[in-house]
Structures are given as C-alpha cells and as structure tokens.
Amino acid sequence: MSFGPSDCGDDIDRIMDVMTGAFAPEYGEAWNRRQVSDSLLLTGTGYCLIGADGTVGSTSEEPTAGFALTRSVFDEEELLLFAVLPQYRGKGLGAALLTEVIARARQRGIRRLFLEMRRNNPAGKLYTGFGFRTVGIRPGYYRTASGERLDALSQELHITDN
C-alpha cells in the first residue's frame, strides 16, 4: 500500500481516470480529486493500483485498470473505494487487487477489514467469495439519483496470520 500524497506522483491522475469510468453516476459513489488528495493527507490512508496486465503498483507501463483506497486505524482497516474500469472487468483483476489489499493489510498487522456496500451491488459476490460477512444493515442509507432508497450493508473480514 502506498501512503500519502507526497510519494504518489501521477497516481492521483491514475486513480481519477478509473474513478471517472468505473462508478455509475446513478449511485453517486465516485469521489472528486480534492476528496482523494485530501484523504491521502490523513494518517493511515493508502491506495493500491492494478494495471491492465494484472501488475500491482504504479510502475506498470500498462494502463491502470483499477484501484483500492483504504484507511487503517490501529489493527482495523476500511476499504473506502474499490473499482475496476468496465473494459477490464470479469478477468480477475478485482480479485487480484483485493488479494493484494488483504496481503498488505496482513503484513501491517491489520486484523479486521471493513467495507460498506449498497445492497445488491454485484461486487457483493466478490466480497462473499473472500469471506466477508454482513455485520450491519443501515436501511435506506443510500439515495440514488432517481430517488430510490437502498440499504447499506456493512461487511467485515477477519484477517488471519496465514
């Protein structure tokens, strides 16, 4: 995981390229550039990139296909944002990125990984496959652009040593 804006060079551009293309406007989940750069000023906030060839990190010559943004406090971490561009989906890049996020969290002594998702997000299948389980529901928490209310599901993964 890379931390802070000082060492991220062009990585915020890479994150924003994915952000713009990956999140459906209907759900209002995408962050703007300011939100991303401000978040990276906070202690414990970091990101991970994945290239179209599956290479993790920002050194790949390939276009960036996806990113994860996380924030950790003590031994807990939250997956704040997680996305792969539509043209690169269904090839295992999301799973590879999540595997990397979990491995790096484990290396830093993180014990629990949290995320929040809207009910029925297809990404839930991916999370379930990694062992995340629903630990809380906020009824009608999200409001879509068309006014529909959707539940927020809080998901948790216990990270073990192996």
Secondary structure (3-state) at 30: coil
Yes or no: say if 73 and 44 are a contact pair by the CB < 8 Å rule: yes
Task: Candidates 7, 41, 91, 137: give the one binding ligand COA (CB under 6 A).
Answer: 91
Quote the CA–CA distance of 154 and 137 in Å, as a whole number. 6
- Tell me how far, at minimum, the Cβ of 89 lies from ligand COA, in Å: 3
Quote the CA–CA distance of 81 and 77 in Å, as a whole number. 12
Q: Indicate which residue of 78, 100, 116, 156 is catalytic.
A: 116
Active site residue 116: yes
Phi, psi of 120 (to 5 degrees): 75, 5
Question: Does the footprint of ligand COA cover residue 133 (CB under 6 A)?
Answer: no
Please identify, using beta-carbon distances, which residue of 122 and 139 lies nearer to ligand COA: 122
Q: Point out which residues bind ligand COA (CB under 6 A).
A: 22-23, 82-84, 89-95, 115, 117, 121-123, 125-126, 129
Return the active site residues.
116, 127
